[in-house]
């Protein structure tokens, strides 16, 4: 269901149910949450890459779950929604860099999973769509992230039409950072993750906290938070090492 592979200081998480197109089942949601907790604890993990096994990234909701959702109790549905909310929030605010390598269709919750990562790479033949409205669902949790990622107009188009978009169109909208040939996707994703992982952990963590907080702040409040962050980071060991390495003309040892 979830396969873990280590490449130096980058951990690759592979959604591993290719026969069913890697659905975002309740079991997978729990497995991803556990994997994120473990990756945060391990100092040897400095960045995460998320991808799918087989021809799809993730087809979204599990079909068995969809059959049961309308007959489940309000309490059960709310518990499931909360667990999915925890996953998206956890991934979006994860203190280490995250990257989605979208190798095929990323649909509904699967598209949301990719969008919650810091960076998104897509293979040239991949597609992505927030298709919930086409079956009477609402991309509510995903919408929180999507509006931040692409702005209101693009978010409205994607959420109200429910259409799938190509990798090239997703790039033009700002949904993804790079579009690469399929055979180069994983290699480029790992290389980019290594680039991020080489930076100071405390700087990465604080930068991600700022990026999460600033969109909801006014100008003055944002600058005050930025000034506090600027002052706080000056007392870290990472900055001391970075400055020493700069003057000694050597790579820093973070």
Point out the residues that are catalytic. Answer: 132
In degrees and rounded to multiples of 5, residue 48 shows phi and psi of -120, 140
**How far apart, in Å, are the Cα atoms of 159 and each of 115, 155, 163?**
14, 6, 8
For residue 125, give both structure tokens: 């033949």
Cβ(199)–Cβ(254) below 8 Å: yes
- Find all residues with CB under 8 Å of 199, minimum gap 6, and list them: 254
Nearest to 134 by CA among 102, 160, 166: 160
């Amino acid at each position: 269901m979830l396969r873990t592979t280590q490449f130096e200081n980058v951990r690759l998480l592979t959604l591993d149910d290719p026969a069913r197109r890697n659905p975002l089942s309740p079991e997978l949601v729990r497995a991803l949450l556990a994997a994120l907790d473990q990756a945060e604890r391990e100092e040897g993990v400095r960045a995460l890459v998320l991808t799918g096994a087989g021809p799809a990234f993730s087809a979204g909701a599990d079909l068995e779950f969809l059959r049961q959702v309308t007959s489940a109790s309000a309490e059960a549905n709310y518990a499931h929604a909360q667990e999915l909310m925890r996953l998206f929030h956890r991934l979006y605010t994860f203190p280490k860099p995250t990257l989605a390598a979208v190798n095929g269709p990323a649909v509904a919750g699967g598209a949301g999973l990719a969008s919650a990562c810091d960076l998104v790479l897509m293979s040239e033949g991949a597609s992505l769509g927030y298709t919930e409205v086409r079956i009477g669902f609402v991309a509510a949790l995903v919408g929180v992230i999507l509006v931040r990622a692409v702005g209101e107009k693009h978010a409205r188009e994607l959420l109200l039409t429910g259409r799938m978009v190509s990798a090239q169109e997703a790039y033009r909208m700002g949904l993804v950072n790079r579009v690469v040939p399929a055979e180069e996707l994983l290699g480029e994703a790992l290389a980019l993750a290594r680039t991020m992982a080489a930076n100071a952990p405390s700087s990465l963590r604080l930068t991600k906290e700022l990026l999460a907080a600033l969109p909801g702040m006014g100008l003055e409040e944002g600058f005050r938070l930025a000034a506090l962050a600027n002052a706080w980071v000056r007392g870290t060991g990472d900055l001391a090492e970075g400055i020493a390495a700069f003057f000694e003309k050597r790579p820093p040892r973070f």
